[in-house]
Amino acid sequence: MKEFYNNHFLKQKMMRTLLLPLFILSIFSIYNFGWKVLVLLVLNAVVASLVEYICETKIFKKKKISEAVFVTSILYTMTLPVSIPYWISIVGIAFGVFFGKMVFGGFGKNIFNPALVGRVFIYINSASPLTIFWNKGATGFPGGFGTFITEHIDQVSTATPMLLFKNGGSLTELSNLFFGNVSGAIGETSKVLIILIGIYLIYKKVASWEIMAGSIVGFTVLSLIFNAMGVESVPNPIYGMLMGGFLFGTVLMATDPVSAAKTVPGKWIYGMIIGIVTVIIRGFALFSGGVMFAILIGNLFAPIIDYTIRKVKANKKAKLKKEAVA
């Protein structure tokens, strides 16, 4: 088994660093929603690996596929409701890996985050399974470890903290939002765990703190502006950050080193774009969330931002050099 793995997978230190906190998040997700989480994780990892293997070996004529495919499949799974039908999950991850990554040439060449490409694809084409069917978050012990899938929630309008606020203006208790015993996407519920993961990734220098900070700053400032204007569809920034997948997206999706901005000023601008766009979509669009669209929009602008910043720096350097010669 070890020989097979070494022969087919390219070892990537950064990806292995990411896999540890994702493993911990997956364990909590199983506790919160049941063993179906594990089935979805394995299923998506197999499909993602198969799609990348076919593309890498048959099209690009390479010998190995990247370990990043495991990170992609786990992140994708964490954005899903646990009740999602298996076939929809499979279609999403296959689409995300192929059209979000392989069509650009494989690992390191993709413009967009492939996990989010897959998530948005099934969100647009199969909206009901991703917006209507939710399951309760477990409490006590053994929680989800004692069941295949937790109880279904009948009242859709109050199924998740985000829907509860959007449909009725009610706010979930901060303690429940913080610790994660609520309904929602598989990996987005425990904010304390996501914050700890963010600290760990910054410490290991595999995720940009500038992007995280920029996203939080953009989100907070625009939320406060709308609060001051009396816009009721935008909650205060504390609740806003703890509801839905904003923190999950900021820590684990926006910081993807391949699709994010590379320059330091660019990282701040890129992060702020994500935070600002998330608030706008949440407050004024039909979607209850918005961070996945915001990150993809940020991905679109990341190369432009970096190019502009490098161009400005180059022009400034050339001007200074010219003045020195003169």
Tell me the per-residue pLDDT of 96-135, one tens digit each, with 9 for 90 and over.
999 999 989 888 889 999 999 999 999 988 878 877 888 8
Same domain, 192 and 319: yes
Same domain, 85 and 72: yes
Contacts (Cβ under 8 Å, ≥6 apart) of 139? 181
Burial of 53 (0-12, 13-18, 19+ CB in 10 A): middle
Contacts of the segment 288-292: beta carbons below 8 A, 24+ positions apart = 288/131, 288/160, 288/162, 288/163, 288/166, 288/244, 289/162, 289/244, 289/245, 291/244, 291/245, 291/246, 291/248, 291/249, 291/250, 291/253, 292/79, 292/116, 292/119, 292/120, 292/123, 292/245, 292/249, 292/253
**Domain final residue, candidates 125, 153, 181:** 153
Instruction: Give, as one character, the DSSP assignment of residue 1.
Output: -
| pLDDT higher than 90, residue 240 | no
| pLDDT higher than 70, residue 169 | no
220 confidence band (pLDDT: 50, 70, 90): very high
Same domain, 130 and 202: no
Range of the domain at 292: 157-326
Same domain, 104 and 245: no
Same domain, 270 and 175: yes
Lowest mean pLDDT among 63-67, 157-161, 233-237, 318-322: 157-161
Same domain, 74 and 211: no
**Domain final residue, candidates 136, 153, 170:** 153
Same domain, 77 and 51: yes
* pLDDT averaged over every residue in the chain: 88
Same domain, 176 and 121: no
Angle at 214 between CA 213 and CA 217, to 5 degrees: 85
| pLDDT higher than 90, residue 55 | no
Same domain, 202 and 132: no
Same domain, 191 and 319: yes
Same domain, 173 and 201: yes
Strand 65-66 relative to strand 134-135, pairing: unpaired
Contacts (Cβ under 8 Å, ≥6 apart) of 260? 208, 211, 254, 267, 270, 298, 299, 302
Same domain, 59 and 1: yes
**Domain final residue, candidates 104, 136, 153:** 153
The pLDDT score that the predictor gives to residue 159 is 66
- Under 8 Å between Cβ of 179 and 238: no
d(CA 315, CA 311): 6
φ, ψ for residue 311, nearest 5 deg: -65, -45
The domain total for the chain is: 2
